[in-house]
Amino acid sequence: MEPFPQRQLFGGAISTTFPLRFEDVSNIREVPDHQEVFVDPARDESLIIELLEMKHDVPDEGSATWFLQDLATEQGAEGNIVTDQSAVFEAQGLGYGNTPSVITTAAAQMAISKGRQGREAQNLVKVYLANLRLKGVQTDVLITAYEPVFISPSSESARSVGAGLTVPAADSGRTPMADVFKQVVATFRINDWNLFGAATV
């Protein structure tokens, strides 16, 4: 398919791999310091890596589903159907000191409007979310991938991507978003723990 070069995040403190068609949104508009946002404008697909203070009241089991539902509420999504959720796994190579990190993933399909557009402009979107819990530095990392399935004719996305059912990625020589997401999660590396205010181990 397409190459997956290494991409530097948060000034090189974190790295992972995903296709170059995902452009850094911070080159176009301001992005909060705790986020890295990438978008493929031709397909209206996006990828967000976010660092949050760990939510201790959310158990590891099902944490990705909890964050996915929180995201749906925040975005005013409708018809949020969780289609997939994983068990809790230890995140190999991402422990800090003697404290292991864990990861869970979930996927859902939901109707979301872009920006400030109303309900009439909702697109049907598949959302993939991984919650990497860096317990040694009290941080929840969220890796979220958005893949539109159906674009509303009223959506601003219709102008660039076209309305109706989206063309499957493989049909246009692109890697499907589910596989892009898996690769981002599998190749996620922390190069500098100082990003989290941690002493070097």
pTM: 0.88
User: How far apart, in whole angstroms, are the C-alpha atoms of residue 122 and residue 116?
Assistant: 11
Across 118-148, b (16+ Cβ under 10 Å) vs e yields eeebbbbbbbbbbbbbbbbbebbbbbbbbbb
What residue ranges in the chain does DSSP mark as E strands? 6-9, 14-17, 23-24, 35-40, 45-53, 78-85, 89-90, 102-112, 123-134, 139-151, 164-165, 189-190
Q: List CB contacts of 59: < 8 A, sequence separation 6 or more.
A: none
Q: Contact, 139 vs 52, CB < 8 A?
A: yes
For the record, the structure tokens of 91 come out as: 């995140």
What integer pLDDT is reported at residue 104 of this predicted model? 96
10-residue block means of pLDDT along the chain (201 residues)?
92 97 93 95 91 96 93 74 81 91 93 61 82 96 89 56 63 88 96 82 47
What integer pLDDT is reported at residue 8 of this predicted model? 97
Q: List CB contacts of 107: < 8 A, sequence separation 6 or more.
A: 68, 82, 83, 84, 85, 126, 127, 128, 129, 178
What integer pLDDT is reported at residue 13 of this predicted model? 97
- Phi, psi for 66 (deg, rounded to 5): -60, -50
What integer pLDDT is reported at residue 127 of this predicted model? 93
For the record, the structure tokens of 95 come out as: 């422990």
What integer pLDDT is reported at residue 171 of this predicted model? 74
User: How far apart, in whole angstroms, are the C-alpha atoms of residue 86 and residue 160?
Assistant: 34
